[in-house]
Structure 1
């Protein structure tokens, strides 16, 4: 049977399970400096009132411009574990529910995204923790830096020096955050895109992909920022620094309600472009190398 054509005569294609991981890794190469700045602002103490531009200038002046790419290997490791897992589960599940690209109810999409996000967050925790540590290294005194050579070196050193369990430090925060960010990104991207296509003013092209992904990025940032702050602090903490999740929440709350949204602007500036680039790359992979719908 030949693949059905869209109203414009184009053959409809769906993404392969690994497209999301590849697209996310490519986006991370572009947005890594913004992610690094976000981590610096979130792990700073209450007395550190430094803005994103001042933070950027300080890093470049003290460490050089390449310091903005500190931990890039860990960022790629995180995307190739975390994002590959969540995109794979979400896309494959969608194709099982609607093999011919039929409309999927919102609650079904939300449930699929939540399961995919939780699993991806758990799988990606080790890479995420190494990513946070490598990015935060440049702001520490030289005698306190961990100085991981690359992401794999970081994984082995943490396992050897602190135990394998430490690699999953912050997994509860990471998985909870991943549920929200995956719902915000994947689920709402599909919802917004579907709504735009029904208006008759949009087609399945770059304009629609950009608009849908920008909206998804804004939704995801707003939903996930408090958990993102807590996750980052948990992963960057020293052994025994916090007694548990409630202790971490209490410590953060003492700095004021806005402490949970610390780094919101760089978080949006990073997650917005990252979401846009991820879906643009994903859609290009889908349209050029995807599977045709039978």
Structure 2
């Protein structure tokens, strides 16, 4: 939770004789607590992103193989070797600046909004069961992505172009394709983020609860690691196809002649029809290789940072 967040309570009038005494309760926790809550979330995601970013570059390159037709796929090792030969070690960190920027903003928001959303549901419906956790994660993820999609578009473009500069890339996108191009793929991205956050946070939250209740594990790194591993596996299986569709939409040109996909559903249909169902999981191993460790690093770091900041455990 965000510090000691409790459901909003309006002013409660109390009468002593003819005098009315009003007791006020803060609707929001102190600003310092809110800053710590979102700050620890953003920092933990940014650090995890910095460690796993090369795998994200490989994932994007894997997803962009044989666009529009079938063909033998090069594995993650082959893509890695190609990058090293043609573009050098620096290519593994293409798009790192927007990736870290997005991590602080998007990561901080999606992790940070999960608890307040869950508390709001608890206040409104008197429950924090697994369905509430899933809904809370979906809302937090979708809202966060809608706000930060432009940074994701720039990051993906940079990962495919070793010579691009972030600010110059933004200017080129806006001048050639319009401001709306910065929200390319926002629909699938919101669906993916909703699914990712719901599956990742709800699974982590629920796994922690089950392990505490049914095993000898207590709050600590072992509990956090076990819970985050389960969360990483579940979230990868659910979001890999959405990640593929999002990447394809963000990288396609804006002119009618270069447009291959009209929307997310059309993209998914064409990928399955022309490249086969398994094409939806292109880069799937790279996604897990990145998302698994990133999930573990994020949750373990976030729990530790929250503890240091005097906040409750997630």
Q: Structure 2 length as normaliser, TM-score?
A: 0.80
Query: What is the match of residue 157 of structure 1?
Result: 172
In structure 2, which of residues 63, 70, 79 is the aligned counterpart of residue 55 of structure 1?
A: 79
* Structure 1 residues 44 and 248, CA gap change in structure 2 (3 angstroms): same
Query: What is the match of residue 143 of structure 1?
Result: none
Q: Conserved in 2, the CA contact under 8 Å of 1:17 and 1:92?
A: no
Q: Structure 1 length as normaliser, TM-score?
A: 0.86
Q: Conserved in 2, the CA contact under 8 Å of 1:17 and 1:91?
A: no
Offset, 1:200: 4.1
Work out whether 1:252 is the aligned partner of 2:267: no
Work out whether 1:281 is the aligned partner of 2:304: no
Query: What is the match of residue 251 of structure 2?
Result: 236
Offset, 1:47: 2.9
- Kindly report which structure 2 residues correspond to 1:98-247, keeping only aligned pairs within 5 A, or say none: 104-138=128-162, 147-150=163-166, 152-239=167-254, 240=256, 241-245=259-263, 246-247=265-266
Q: Conserved in 1, the CA contact under 8 Å of 2:217 and 2:223?
A: yes
In structure 2, which of residues 292, 306, 311 is the aligned counterpart of residue 272 of structure 1?
A: 292
Task: Give unpaired runs (5+ residues) of structure 1.
Answer: 5-12, 139-146
Q: Once the two structures are superposed, what CA deviation does each residue of 1:197-256 show, in whole Å capped at 9, x if it has no partner?
A: 112410111111111111101000001111111000000111131351243223211111
Work out whether 1:88 is the aligned partner of 2:88: no
Provide the rounded CA distance (Å) in 2 between the counterparts of 1:198 and 1:153.
53
Query: What is the match of residue 39 of structure 2?
Result: 18
Q: Which has the higher contact order (CA 8 A, sep 6+)?
A: 1
Query: What is the match of residue 31 of structure 1?
Result: 52
Offset, 1:280: 1.1
Provide the rounded CA distance (Å) in 2 between the counterparts of 1:103 and 1:115.
17
Partner secondary structure for residue 132 of structure 2:
helix
Q: Conserved in 2, the CA contact under 8 Å of 1:16 and 1:290?
A: no
Alignment size in residue pairs: 272
Provide the rounded CA distance (Å) in 2 between the counterparts of 1:292 and 1:195.
18
Aligned CA RMSD, in angstroms, stands at 2.4
Task: Give unpaired runs (5+ residues) of structure 2.
Answer: 5-32
